[in-house]
Amino acid sequence: MSKKVFVGLSGGVDSSVTAALLKEQGYEVTGVYMKNWSKSIGRFDCPWEEDYQDAKKVASHLDIPFVMYDFEDQYFHRVVDYMLESFRAGITPNPDVMCNQEIKFKLFLDLCVENGADYIATGHYAGTKAGRLLVAKDSNKDQTYFLYRVTQSALKKTIFPLAGYTKPEVRALAEKFDLPTAKRKESMGICFVGKIGIRDFLKEYVTDFYEGQIINQDGAVVGTHEGAIFYTVGQRSGLGVGGGLPYYVTGKDMIKNEVYVTSDIADEALWTDTLRLTSVHWIHGQAEVEYVRNRHRAPLVKVKSLKFLENGDVELVMVEKVRAITPGQSTVFYSGNECLGGGVVSLL
C-alpha cells in the first residue's frame, strides 16, 4: 500500500515540482494550500487568492486531491505578534524561521497526520535523513538556515524531494511535467504577506514611533529618522543622510530613540567575532559545531570556540570577524553537510 504524503502547495514552482515528483515516485499525494494571510495593506495587495488558484490548478493538472487549511489566526498570533514584539524591543526578527517552527512543521504537520498523512512534504531546498537536517545540493538555494528550529520528530515525518536538485533543474522539471506554474517568478517579501516592505508593514501595526536623531561615529548629529524601530544593524539604504561617504547603521537606542551610524566600513562597531546566542535549539542534542552561518546565503564561518552558559545561552567565537551581525537574527550551526541547530543573536 502506497504511503500518503500531504504536500504544502504554495502556488510556486518549487512546491509544484515537489508534488509532481512524489506522485511519479508512487506516493498517494494530497495537495494542501495553507492560508496564512489574506490582508492587503495600503497599495500592497496580498497575493493569496492568486497563489491559491495556482496551487489548485497544479493539483488538478496532477489529478490529486486538493484542500485548504486556514491558519490565519494562528499565523498572526505566533508569527506576526513575534515580529512586532521583536521590532518594538529593538531587534530584527526572522519571520521565515518562526513560520517554519510554528506553522509549517507544527500546525500543518499535526493536522496532516490527523487527517491520515504518513508524511508531509514541502518545496524547501534541504535534505533529511533519520530526523537529521542536511544541506541541499544547490548551495545558493539551500534553506537549512530557515529550518534550523524544526524538531527531530517533525523531520522524521518530512520529505524534501528537492534536496538533490538545483533551481535550474527544478525549472526544467516543471516544464517536463507541463505544470501551470512552470513560468512563475520567485515570490519575494514577508513570508505569505507579499511584496510589501517591512517599513510599510510595521506602520500598519505600530503607531508609537516618532522622529529622532541619527548620530555618527564621532558623536555628531548627521540627520533625523522617523522612528528607531525601522532601522537595523548593517543597514545602508533608507537613512536619508546625504553627502560624502555612505553611512551604515551600527546600533540604536529604543529608549532614547537614537540611531547610530558610521561612515567607516572598517569601524569596529560594525564587526565582531564573538556572539551570544539565546533560544538555542539543537535538532539532535548538543554537538560539536564546525561552522556557522549568520544570514541566508552568507558564507560559512569556522568556529573557534563554543561555550555553554548556565541559562542555556551559548557564547560563540568565530575565527574571523563578521560584519553587521544583527540582534534578533539567527546564527545557525553546521558540521559537514548537516545543520545541527542554532540560536538567536542576543543584544550584548
Q: Is the dihedral of CA 59, 112, 184, 47 positive or negative?
A: positive
* Spatial CA neighbour of 337 closest among 136, 125, 131: 136
Distance CA 298, CA 331 (A): 11
Query: Using CA atoms, how far apart are residues 239 and 66, in angstroms rounded to an integer?
Result: 46
Pairwise CA distance, residues 67 & 298, whole Å:
36
Q: What residues does 213 pair with on adjacent strands? A: 224
CA–CA dist 159, 138 (Å, integer):
17
Contact 165, 6 (CB under 8 A): no
Amino acid at 186: E
Distance CA 222, CA 90 (A): 21
Give the side-chain half-sphere CA count within 13 A for 306. 20
Decide: 52 and 59 in contact? Cβ < 8 Å: no
List 46, 112, 191, 339, catalytic entry: 191
**Selected catalytic residue, list 46, 99, 112, 339:** 99
The single-letter code of the amino acid at 162 is: L
Cβ–Cβ under 8 Å, residues 292 and 318:
yes
Check if 191 is active-site: yes
Task: In whole angstroms, give the CA distance from residue 263 to residue 247.
Answer: 4
Query: Is 339 known to be catalytic?
Result: no
Whole-number Å distance between alpha carbons of 37 and 189 = 13
Task: Taking the CA atoms of 19, 132, 298 and 216 in sequence, report the sign of the dihedral they define.
Answer: positive
List the beta bridge partners of residue 129: 132
Q: State the cell numbers at 215.
A: 548620530
* Active-site amino acid positions: 99, 191
